[in-house]
Amino acid sequence: MRYDLAVIGAGPGGYVAAIRAAQLGMKVAVIESREAGGTCLNRGCIPTKTLLHSAEAFDRMRHCEALGLSVSGCGYDMEKMHARKNEIVGQLRSGIEQLFRANKIDLYRGTGIILSAGAVAVKGEGSEETVEAGKILIATGSKPAVPPVPGLDLPGVLTSDGLLAGPADPKRLLIIGGGVIGVEFASLYQRLGCEVTIVEALDRLLPNMDREISQNLSMIFKKRGVSVHTSARVEEIVQEGEALVCRFTEKGKPGEAAAERILLAIGRRAATEGLFAEGVSVETERGAVKVNERFETSLPGVYAIGDVIFGGVQLAHAASAEGIAAVEGMAGEAPSVNLSVVPSCIYTEPEIASAGITADEAKQRGAAVKTGKFIMTANGKTLIEGADRSFVKLVFSAEDDRLLGAQLMCPRATDLISELAAAIANGLTGRQLASVIRPHPTFCEAVTEAVEAASGKAIHAAPPRR
């Protein structure tokens, strides 16, 4: 059967692109070797956040006396936590497949191999068929990166995929990597009472985030008993009795830490292995597919989006937006999404979110900026919920007052960031943001305070020193 578009991969980039293409009148096929929903739904975002929610509830019960409550026999069941996770994942996965049927999208089960600019072989168990299409969209995503460190093949050394498969319940967990994946798993297991150690090669946690966020998270982790080693290069992992021992060099000095399980969380790399038939290729860099501004590869008619592309942002919502933009471009329409502002969210406690640029990035670009910051200890909702040290920081252009960036580390930061991303994308000014009446008591009141702090007019903060 011939299609207008064949999408390889049914993750958040692929399935969203397929549905939008069908809405635009295209006949669409989706080719997926595993489950609909991709890594995000099955082995990433949704499973992680489901377990984090359970761990947060357990941690709140353990400390509920401060709220005037008492709970006896407080405990958790890791198998039941994973069962709930699997139920939620299954429900969402089923919803995607129903959407395919509703939009008359054909789902092919098997591995997609690009034979040419107009044909994809689908290899299943003991079968193979060819799907012909006017255009092909690569949305194969990424997989955990594994460096050449001795001992990573030992039992008990896992990637995020393995740890989320469950139901491992270690009492001591060592995490290699202090990026988004590493700190979320650290937060998850620390809340369950696990002894957590993080070993990060760079000089701070979350090295791609605002420096103050990194520093604040390190202080909170230290307060909660998480051991953090930065500027630490892992040398090897060895088995000593029943323990796994990670040996590393920290700031030039040898160190080691033992654990029951070791999580390898140094990032992800593009999943392109076996994607092209012999004699067929596209231009790549460091294993990732290079695309132009229309998401077209060096092979005309073949496009790519999401984690698989070089220089892209490895986030589910970025992949979805790119998928929409790519197929709208194929249909001759202007993109309906603004790809210039992609919010980033991290589900620690408190949550972390950012959009746009930081003050340091503005300085590197030579842009004059002013910042407004509000510490959440003066926010009533924050005190009610007993959140750790939190803040909202906004970066404005000193020339025209436009909002250029937002960095949040506070409760509900991952929800609050959408208002600020919309403001950045639409060039709103501090004056326009300050004109909005935000309800009380809410976390979003902090946005007003941070906006007004940029001009020295925050109500619930002491006047700046002269």
User: Which tens digits make up the pLDDT trace of 367-425?
Assistant: 999 999 999 999 999 999 999 999 999 999 999 999 999 999 999 999 999 999 999 99
Closest Cα to residue 35, out of 115, 91, 101? 91
404 Cβ neighbours under 8 A, 6+ residues apart: 356, 357, 362, 367, 369, 395, 396, 397, 424
β-strand pairing of 403-409 with 288-289 = unpaired
Give the count of beta carbons closer than 10 Å to the beta carbon of residue 120: 28
User: Which tens digits make up the pLDDT trace of 104-155?
Assistant: 999 999 999 999 999 999 998 888 999 999 999 999 999 999 999 999 999 9
415: alpha, beta or left? (left if phi > 0; alpha if psi -120 to 50): alpha
pLDDT of residue 462: 84
Closest Cα to residue 439, out of 387, 379, 363? 379
H helix intervals, 139-264? 160-165, 180-191, 211-223
β-strand pairing of 391-397 with 344-346 = unpaired
- The CA-based angle 360-314-339, given to 5 degrees, is 70
Q: Is 440 a catalytic residue?
A: yes
Closest Cα to residue 184, out of 47, 41, 358? 47
| Residues of the chain where predicted confidence (pLDDT) is lower than 70 | 466
pLDDT of residue 1: 78
Letter for the amino acid at 2? Answer: R
pLDDT of residue 331: 97
362 token code pair: 């503005």
d(Cα 320, Cα 316) in Å, to the nearest integer? 6
pLDDT of residue 466: 65
DSSP string, 281-326: ---EETTEEP--TTSB-SSTTEEE-GGGBTT----HHHHHHHHHHH
In the set 53, 229, 317, 440, the catalytic residue is 440
Give the predicted TM-score (pTM) of the model.
0.95
pLDDT of residue 367: 94
